[in-house]
Structure 1
Amino acid sequence: MIREDILDIKPYVPGKPIEEVKRELGIDDVIKLASNENPLGPSKKAVEAMKEAASGVHIYPHGDCYVLKEALSDRLGVSEEELMFGNGSDDILKFIGEAFVNTGEEVIVAEPSFSEYEFATNIMGGDVVKVPLKDYTHNLSAMLETITDQTKLVFICNPNNPTGTTVTKQEVDSFMAEVPDDVVVVFDEAYKEYVTSDDYPETINYLTDYDNVIILRTFSKIYGLAGLRIGYAISNKELIGYLNRVRPPFEVNSMAQTAAYAALQDQDHLNKSKEINTEGKKYLYQEFERLGLEYVPTETNFILVDVKKDASEVFADMQKQGVIIRNAQAFGYETMIRVTIGTDEQNQRLINTLEQVLA
């Protein structure tokens, strides 16, 4: 009855919801610093736009996200034919698997990285080829050497989840110059807006010279619209056309389209979100160093930290005190946790709780 290919798929395990922790532990004061959400929430302009649009939800949404696509096209300097939207960028990852991967073909991913790349491969019966990180960062030279005649896709999560590291423009330039033309390179840039590094590649420029590039971005992170599920792909019109062949109609709901359009107009909220993240990052670095904890410098809104003991115990003890973090054992790091950078108050509570738990 069941396709054997799906038996290799491990269901995605998200960060625990606040409501679930309150219910399980019987506590009321809970903060969540586990899923890399924007602690400021969405733009007020997005919220107001949704209120105005709420009465129209009995009408099907625009299937091609016309208004949002027009605005994003102007913002990014690409044509509307080079854009498509999905129910979160996770949705588009599945489309990529469906459009490109045949049974037995290979897909190269870093390890650890975002687990949904494996899902998109396994659901189509493809074979995942994992290349270990080097110094918590994608080893592009090793990934290049792993390419064979059976390779169909390479996923590059930049910045990488769960480590927060980036590969540089020079590294990506060298990689792209050697990748075969028939291997599609997918750059997942969910955290791009948080990057401050000067040598981060502007991948849209690769669309001019290469026909095998797909770029993924999202409104879930810095734009604070994770609950609405809306992400997008940028590529040449031919590859976008293939993805649209497997995209169901009305994939992005009307509230998500409305909120994303309004969020694009609110540069002040974007700037404030970046500022809060930068300040929080400095504070947490300082406190981790005071506690004698090693961490991976990040270009995102989360930090991978070595707590020097069983991470599952630290995760459980912090949760009992109302602070939800991510246990990094799921990524292969037995003594590490991943924490989202929050507001000043949330960051201070995180450190106070962590210090008590470790003591």
Structure 2
Amino acid sequence: MEGKPILNQLSPYKQGKQTKEIQEEFGLNHIVKLASNENPYGYSEQVKDVLSDGLPEFNIYPDGYTGEVRMALSDKLNIQPNQLIFGSGTEEVIQLLCRSFLQPGSNVVMAAPTFPQYKHYALIEGATVREIPTDEHGYHDLDRMLEAIDESTKIVWLCSPNNPTGAVIPKDDFLSFMSKCPKHVLVAFDEAYYEYMDKEADPDALSHMDNYENLITMRTFSKAYGLAGLRIGYGISSSDIITTLDKVRGPFNTTSIAQKAAVIALGDQAFIENTYEKNKTVKASFETFLDRIKWPYYDSETNFLLVSTPVSGMEVFQYLIENGFIVRPGELLGIPNTVRISLGTEEDMKELQQLLLKFHEEKAKVQ
């Protein structure tokens, strides 16, 4: 049996080596994973407490309407319940968008580099992908993205903060883009790292939802909320777009335990504030260190930094992994001579700085 012809040009997602593999390969006792932008502070203790008291009935299908978390988000975000759709992480929402709106002959417009699953799922649906390079600082080139739109464009992907560069689309630029974007084009605004942004950097897309019926905003519980292992994210849009997406959504696509944990996590905003403050402190300290060794980095409103390296990012990656730190080499992200480093705890980042300083000094001697 053969699949779609386009699948011959794609590869399955390949995750990095797991902790146990690396420990065995390099004889290490301790591994620090700084490659997947996870929350190093875990998740709300309230989630742990509630789930310890009683797990959902695993023999019963979950609530296909995601009623409890839907109402909690509706109240928190001041939106109607029918403006929400839930998925197994925002990645499934992206997949639902592609399945609902794309077909052979259509096209999508996106930045490059950005989250790769936009392109992956668009190609599977037979759409053409138009990639517009970010500027030298990792920001979307919105003018060129507008120029790339035509009558066959169905979706424009905007990632803010952008993964892997960390850059936010400024509010004025976002509103200008929305005012100029043709109404037949769905603007998919991915805010997976929303909770890490400084409030001044927030483009406040949600407050303009009523003005732009071709806008969908996506957020997740995987990053700041620390529920990556449970896989639950959501999209916010007009009721018409949500209805369209619901037609292709699986009837029980989020689990009972994920729904329950999301409700509890949503209620513990003190944990989110604590995560935000710790991340901000660690990021500032790491940026100061990078300035000292003169390794440039991209502006970031996230829990990671994309760092320019004096040699191949793969070389830095290999050095760090042999010393117990896993990062993401830029060569795998389409940005040579960089590494994307998730921000860990203060203790872990101090140890990382020592390793990078040693690497930097060794390279300086060679030169």
Q: Could you say which residue in structure 2 is the equivalent of 1:119?
A: 120
1:183 equivalent in alignment to 2:185: yes
Q: Judge conservation of contact 1:323–1:353 (CA < 8 Å) in 2.
A: no
Out of 331, 344, 347, the position equivalent to 1:345 is 347
* Aligned match of 2:93: 92
Q: Letter of the aligned partner of 1:301 in structure 2?
A: N
1-structure distance, mates of 2:13, 2:359: 28
Structure 1 runs of 4+ with >3 Å offset: 13-16
Q: What is aligned with 1:74? A: 75
Of residues 55-64 and 267-276 in structure 1, the stretch that sits farther from structure 2 once superposed is 55-64
How far apart are the structure 2 equivalents of 1:64 and 1:76? 18
Q: Which residues in structure 2 correspond to 1:245-260 (within 5 Å)?
A: 245-260=247-262
Per mean C-alpha deviation after superposition, the further-off stretch among 250-259 and 3-12 is 3-12
Q: Is 1:60–2:61 an aligned residue pair?
A: yes
- Identical-pair percentage: 36
User: For this pair of structures, how many residues does the alignment match?
Assistant: 359
CA–CA distance in structure 2, aligned partners of residues 304 and 54 of structure 1: 39
The code of the aligned residue for 2:308 comes to: D
Q: Which residue of 1 aligns with 2:365?
A: none
Q: Which residue of 1 aligns with 2:207?
A: 205
Deviations 1:21-70 (A, max 9, x none): 22332322111011111110011111222223425222211111111100
Native 8 Å contact 2:168 2:201 kept in 1: no
Structure 2 residue aligned with 1:291 = 293
Larger displacement relative to structure 2 (7-16 or 347-356): 7-16
Q: TM-score, normalised by structure 2?
A: 0.95
Counting only pairs closer than 5 Å after superposition, residues 261-276 of structure 1 correspond to structure 2 as 261-276=263-278
Deviations 1:301-346 (A, max 9, x none): 0001112101101101110110111101122221110101111101
Contact 2:62 2:252 in 1 (8 A): yes
The SS at the match of 2:195 is helix
Unaligned segments of structure 2, at least 5 residues: 363-367
Runs (5+) with no aligned partner, structure 1: none
Query: How many angstroms does 1:199 deviate by?
Result: 4.2
**Cα drift, residue 15 of structure 1:** 4.3
Contact 2:56 2:257 survives alignment (8 Å): no
Change (3 A) 1:55 1:154: closer
CA contact (8 A) 1:163 1:304 kept: yes
Cα distance per residue 1:219-254 (max 9 Å; x no partner): 000000001100000001110001111111110011
Question: Secondary structure of 2:297's match?
Answer: strand
Structure 1 segment 309-320 matched on structure 2, within 5 A: 309-320=311-322
1:197 positional shift: 5.2
Instruction: Tell which deviates more after alignment, 234-243 or 291-300.
Output: 291-300
Deviates more, 1:326-335 or 1:68-77: 326-335
Contact 1:302 1:341 (8 Å CA) reproduced = yes
Local SS of the residue matching 1:228: coil
